[in-house]
Amino acid sequence: MIHNHYHGTYDVIVAGGGIAGLAAAVTSARLGKKTLLIERYGFLGGLATAGLVNPFMTHRSSTGQPLISGFFDNLCSRLEEFGGIKGSTFDSESMKFAAQEMALDAGVHLLLHSWVKEAVVVDGAIRGLRVVDKSGEVEYSADRVIDATGDGDVAVSAGASYQSGGEDGYPQATTMMFDVGGVDLAEALAYVKSRPDQFRFPVLSPDVDPVKLSKEVISVAGYYDLVARARERGEYSLPGDLIFYISRPRPGEVVFNTTHVGMVDGTKSQDLTRAEIEGRRQASALVKFVRNYIPGFKNAYLLRMAAQIGVRETRRIIGEYIFSADDVIEARKHHDAIARLAYPVDVHSGKGEGYTRDEEQLTGPVVPPPGDWYEIPYRCLVPLEIENLLVAGRCVSSTQAGHGAIRIMPCCAAMGQAAGAAAALSITQNVTPRNLDVNLLLKVLREQGALV
């Protein structure tokens, strides 16, 4: 058997090596538990690497107060060691390496190229996972399992109930992210400054120096007039009225978050295949458009497309508490809060209409009051029906709108850290995660630098 250098029995197994799974595994191992992290790809990071998602959306309040620290800060420091981060934007290749080294330094056993098929459940409690690779099927047992697959694969196979989609029945649209090089960002920003009515952001005052600004991390959304002109001429057929890109750490490189493919169930291969094909077609058309129409992009070239279409949302496992837009608007605080955030509800139309000039997708109409924040309860990580199982990351218990706020990467890191700590502590305390003393959990999270 290929895996025979690993023992098949673990204290904690984490399924899925995205930001949430990485945080969970590292935290569990740091607390002394024998931890296995299983990932289907040959590298860690999930959407942050395979999906080319960038930047880290804000983990601060509107007045600049930091709301997330702990593991997330450790990750940023690690990226910094490799020169892979600039402000909120990071390099996806450095992320792959930083993630792997953090896991190994903490003593996590890594199992890559392995697909978690299903949970092993005995008497309502999870006992391990069946994992598939090229050689067949292997079973790993564990006292606690954390589902960080993003899609709740483990929880659903164990029999946990879940919600998916929103009022229109669809989950959020998917996006093929792609990087472009050869951009003269100073020229691009000079144009942005000269046409403030054609952009949602940034709004650049007359005293802004585009050359100076081009050295900073910058997000640009707009070009309404150029998109409309190209569409009239039959040279633009993407959904939406605007394009959106963000600068990368290296000069002359930007990442586009503009394509949209709707009506995609990210748990179905047929839908994902359609989304990959359509996403790459849109990305390719967009590269042509920006070269021909956007000042500063004349010499731009495609650097890379994401290895997978970006799936924002699939299953949301129903837990002890369902996080909703009311939590965001009312800036609710909870006795078992494992993370704080002030990011708005950010839901992309499930039909894939793209960003339109009038809607609020990029700024989000649903926000906590200025300077305030909301909190995410530990209960969102505890599925209703199954014992010894926790969920972390984008499959936690939430409504579609609630999910739209807490799905961002810094928050996934905080939720992962909490799940890892809870799994480890519940073993030490000999209680199920459901019955864990949350005050103990919060104490340990604070000791690890978490802002809870």
Ligand X SMILES: Cc1cc2nc3c(=O)[nH]c(=O)nc-3n(C[C@H](O)[C@H](O)[C@H](O)COP(=O)(O)OP(=O)(O)OC[C@H]3O[C@@H](n4cnc5c(N)ncnc54)[C@H](O)[C@@H]3O)c2cc1C
Applying CB under 6 A, the residues found at the interface with ligand X are: 15-21, 38-41, 46-48, 51, 53, 55-57, 115-116, 148-151, 153, 175, 177, 257, 310-312, 393-394, 407-409, 412
The vertex-44 CA angle with 98 and 82, nearest 5°, equals 15
User: Nearest approach, Cβ of 112 to ligand X (angstroms)?
Assistant: 9
The vertex-247 CA angle with 244 and 251, nearest 5°, equals 145
The DSSP element (H or E) to which 61 belongs, if any, is: none
User: Nearest approach, Cβ of 103 to ligand X (angstroms)?
Assistant: 12
The vertex-12 CA angle with 398 and 438, nearest 5°, equals 55
DSSP, collapsed to helix, strand or coil, labels residue 226 as helix
Beta-bridged to residue 220, according to DSSP, are 245
Shorter beta-carbon distance to ligand X: residue 193 or 394: 394
**CA–CA distance from 133 to each of 13, 26, 307, 447 (Å)?**
17, 24, 20, 38
Residue 113: both structure tokens together? 């190229």
Shorter beta-carbon distance to ligand X: residue 190 or 409: 409
The vertex-199 CA angle with 195 and 204, nearest 5°, equals 65
User: Nearest approach, Cβ of 102 to ligand X (angstroms)?
Assistant: 14
- Single-letter residue type at 178: F
Residue 60 burial by Cβ neighbours in a 10 Å radius (0-12, 13-18, 19+) = middle
Shorter beta-carbon distance to ligand X: residue 189 or 405: 405
Shorter beta-carbon distance to ligand X: residue 408 or 427: 408
Shorter beta-carbon distance to ligand X: residue 177 or 290: 177
* Residue 426 to residue 433: CA distance in whole angstroms: 5
The DSSP element (H or E) to which 11 belongs, if any, is: strand 9-15
Shorter beta-carbon distance to ligand X: residue 45 or 210: 45
Shorter beta-carbon distance to ligand X: residue 176 or 452: 176
User: Nearest approach, Cβ of 111 to ligand X (angstroms)?
Assistant: 9
User: Nearest approach, Cβ of 428 to ligand X (angstroms)?
Assistant: 25
User: Nearest approach, Cβ of 392 to ligand X (angstroms)?
Assistant: 7
Residue 289 is given by DSSP the state: H
Shorter beta-carbon distance to ligand X: residue 243 or 412: 412
**CA–CA distance from 28 to each of 19, 100, 104, 424 (Å)?**
14, 15, 13, 5
User: Nearest approach, Cβ of 398 to ligand X (angstroms)?
Assistant: 12
Shorter beta-carbon distance to ligand X: residue 36 or 190: 36
Give every CB contact of residue 68 below 8 A, 6+ residues apart in sequence. Answer: 59, 339, 340, 341, 410, 411, 413, 414, 450, 451
* Region of residue 363 (left: phi > 0; alpha: psi -120 to 50; beta: else): alpha
User: Nearest approach, Cβ of 38 to ligand X (angstroms)?
Assistant: 5
Beta-bridged to residue 35, according to DSSP, are 12
User: Nearest approach, Cβ of 134 to ligand X (angstroms)?
Assistant: 14
Beta strand 136-147 with 389-391: parallel, antiparallel or unpaired? parallel
User: Nearest approach, Cβ of 194 to ligand X (angstroms)?
Assistant: 27
Shorter beta-carbon distance to ligand X: residue 190 or 422: 422
Give yes or no for a cis peptide into 368 (omega within 30° of 0).
Answer: no
Number of residues that this document lists for the chain: 452
